[in-house]
Amino acid sequence: MANIGLFGGTFDPIHLGHLKTVLEVKARFHIATVYLIPASRPPHKTNRAIAPPADRMAMLQLAVQQLDGLEVSQTEINRSGLSYSVETVDEFRHRFGETADLFFILGLDAFVEIHTWKTCRRLFENVAFIVMTRPGSGRRQTPPDHETLQAFLDARISDGYVFDSTTGQFQHPALQPVNLFAVTPVDVSSTGIREKISSRAPFKHLLPESVAAYINQKGLYR
Ligand code: ATP
């Protein structure tokens, strides 16, 4: 059974930070297909206006068009209400079966907030994680990423996780493994792009050309 990746996000908009890093993850973990799963309404980002799901979906479709093994899933957009990852994982588990190797992919900045997610414990029972390093989340003067992650797992998830430095994996006797993966840093964020667009600064180099053209055509983020 092939490895399957689940990469959730707001994707408002999708950018090169998402694409370059997830392609590295795909290659390193021999993942056949990574599903990019835009949240309908992310529970933790309710304080600002988010581009309509149809636009975020359209930009994702444009972004993955030429990329083998990346697909866009509309599952969270189709579900009404807030988007909970635990339900998304259940859905993919049902679709691919109990023996499928599912990997939930996210950046370190998002992972260290995971204890606030709905029924987070069940997520750790059901799916392995790949945590990507991200510029800004492992700044100088702060501990190395694996120490940050170990402290977080101990404090918030379970003190049973043990780090294996040869594989970069945190293993647990009862819960799914957490893989820390140092991707090539790409210092790009959707927030930064939205700010650049609204202040009329150059932004096209931060996302695929087709996505930049769509943003201009629709007048998004102005
Ligand atoms: P925003 O700036 O609006 O918060 P974002 O750039 O963080 O958005 P999201 O759609 O929220 O984008 O991110 C989806 C996932 O991708 C998250 O797990 C996030 O940590 C990860 N991610 C986003 N950008 C990068 C990047 N440059 N490097 C590594 N991971 C990233």
Separation between Cα atoms, residue 42 and residue 141, nearest integer Å: 31
CA-based nearest residue to 16, from 195, 210, 216: 210
pLDDT of 141: 62
Stated pTM of the model: 0.95
Domains of the chain in sequence order:
3-187 (3.40.50.620)
Q: Which residues pair with 8 in a beta bridge?
A: 37
Taking the centre of ligand 1 as the mean of its atom positions, its distance from the CA of residue 11, in whole angstroms, is 8
Which residue is listed with tokens 């339900």? 87
- Per-residue pLDDT reduced to its tens digit, 136-176: 754 556 778 899 999 999 999 999 999 999 999 999 999 99
Question: Residue 11: what are its φ and ψ, rounded to 5°?
Answer: 50, 60
Residue 179 has which token pair? 């893989």
Q: What are phi and psi of 174, to 5 degrees?
A: -120, -25
- Report which protein residue has its CA nearest ligand 1's atom 7: 189
Strand locations in 65-176, DSSP E? 70-72, 101-107, 128-132, 162-164, 169-171
Residue type, 133: T
Output the pLDDT for position 81.
77
Instruction: Check if the beta carbon of residue 5 is closer than 8 Å to that of residue 29.
Output: yes
Note whether 89 and 47 are within 8 A (CB): no
Structure tokens at 120: 């987070």
Q: For ligand 1, say whether the CB of 189 is within 6 Å of any of its atoms.
A: yes
Distance CA 35, CA 16 (A): 16
Q: Which of 36, 41, 134, 186 to mutate to test the pocket of ligand 1 (most atoms within 8 A of CB)?
A: 134
How far is the centre of ligand 1, averaged over its atoms, from the C-alpha of 65 (Å)? 20
Q: Which residues of the chain have pLDDT under 50?
A: 138
